[in-house]
Each structure stands twice: as structure tokens, then as C-alpha cells.
Structure 1
Amino acid sequence: MSRIAEPSIYFSLIQRMLNNGAINLPKNYHDMFKLRKGKNGELLGWEIINKRVFFYNNDFLKVDEKAKSKKALGEYLIEKHTYHFNPHEDNDLERFRIDKKRSEPLHANDERNGNNLHLSPEQLKLDINNFNLYLAIHLSLLYISKRKYPLDDKYGNEYNAELIKHRRECNG
């Protein structure tokens, strides 16, 4: 499961990404996240259901994410997620997906050439552990600019090197 130590930092990082010029829609993280709060206003978790992040080149990232507070750990766990990159048909890129569902363990789907190969974290060079929306947006933008398929083992470590600083931003 993915961990978020401080949701306010996470939301702020996502808000910054939504306004950096590379994303057309949405422009406000409130348009994506449904926050669940307790009686005293404390954050219990959040959910993103079937939302899309549209990039400047008409590609998009389809997003589902559900997290809840683990008070004993002092953090929030993203219990399930789907980050599905969908290129515009004219952009000559391939689809990929990073999933963690209740019924399935963490995996990525290599969808090159119309395939749908389920790959465990151990089968990939790309580190998909502790993944979240912020990292998925960065990975998508890197793929759009580099044009190197992120689930291809030839490029996994290259993407890992780029994503490491963004991982630290999310969790200190």
C-alpha cells in the first residue's frame, strides 16, 4: 500500500502540478478529491472516482484513488488506486496502467500493441511501490516528453531516477 505522511503537502503538490501549464484540466484538486471528514473536521481519508487529468497534448490520465487514515501509524494509506495513461490517437504513444485493487495485488499493465500484460513489481525495473497520483502525473509527463515506454525495462531505472525526488516531496 502507498503511504502519505501529510495529506496537506500531498494536496498542495498536486495543486501545483495542476497549474504548471502542462495540464489543461482540472485546475483545482478539489474538483478531483472527495474528502471524508470526521465529526470534528479531522480528515479520515479521500477518494477520487473515475476522474481524468488532461495534458497539454490531449493525452489523459484516468484516476481512481482511495485512502484512509491509519491513526496508529500517523499516516494515510492509499488502499486502492488506478492510474491509467491514455494517449491521444495521434501522439504515437502507448497506454499503461498502475493498479492496486482490493481483489488484486499491486501490478502494472503493459498495454503495448493491444496487449494487457499484468506485471508484478518484481517483474519491472520501474518502481511502482508506494505510488500515488502525484507520481503518476510526473511519470505521465516524463513519458510524454521522453517518448520512452516507462514499463520497458530499458527505461525503468531512468524513470526511477527522475521520480525519486518527487517521492521525497510526498513523504519527506
Structure 2
Amino acid sequence: MRAEQKVKFLTWGVVVLVLLNVSTIATIIYHIQTEKKQMGLRSERYPGPLKGRELMEHLDFTAQQRESFHSHNRDFMEAISDINRSLNESRNNLFAELQKAKPDTIKCNLISSDIGRLHKALKIKTYRFYLEVKKICNEEQQAKLNRAFAPVFSFDGGQQFRHRGRGHHWNND
């Protein structure tokens, strides 16, 4: 009987370890996927009608305006695509460095400077695109264009981190 109990105990031990390993792997995969989604959301994205077709419809462009817009939009989208890709890579590199046991602060500063440079380039491309589109708009369309671009150039999310009570509970809004 003793050997039989030992086999039964070992069998249950193996089952528990297998379940633990499967749940650990599933958790890791879930967190990786969640982090990728969050990184995608954090990268600078432009809301609603700022996508080409929707913006043209929103502004009620004529055929001639559409033709001019297509050229500007294509150039803009190519430029910001490269910048956004570089921004995401730099942000990932910074976060990877920060997770190390002894992060290299010099490397963190360099990566942060690169992120700032890229963000500046993105804003420059964006305002230049805005000005090009504004040139082809009439007064009514310019008012609509201003409303469409307002979220890109303003931040009304309040403080990113807030203190609550005496303890420091960080809240990412």
C-alpha cells in the first residue's frame, strides 16, 4: 500500500505542476499581448475624421480639393508612419532598459532624447500637413478642419498622475 500511495501522490504532484506551468505560460502570453496592445494605444494616433477619406468627407471637398489632398495626405502618412515606428521602438527600448536590475541612466537619457526628437518631428510634420490642407479649404471648411485637428494639438486629459489622500496611489487617466 505504501508504494501505491507514493505513486498516487507523485501523480497528483505532476498534475499540479503541469497545471501550474500551463497557467504560468498562459499568463505570460496574456501579459505580452496586453502590453503590445497598450503600446499601440500609447503611440500617437490621430482620432476620427483625420483619416484621409473621412477627413475629405467631413470637409466636403470638391474633386479638385480631393486631388490636392491625396498628394499631401500620402506624403504625410508615409512620414508619420516611419516616425511612429521609430517612436514605438525607442519607447520599447527605454522600457526594456528600465526593467533591468541596474538600468543605465545614460542610455535612458539618450533614448529619452531620441523620443523627444522624434515627437518634435511628428508635430512638425503634423502642423505642416495641417497648413497644406488649410490652404485648399474655404472658410467654412477651415472651421471644420480646426475642430477636426483640435484633439491633435491640445491635451485636456488633466494630470496624468494624481495623488489621493495621504498615500501615493497613482492613477493613469
What TM-score does the superposition give when structure 2 sets the normalisation length?
0.23
Larger RCO, structure (CA 8 Å, separation 6 or more): 2
Bigger Cα Rg: 2
Q: Identify the structure with the greater helix proportion.
A: 2
TM-score, normalising length: structure 1: 0.23
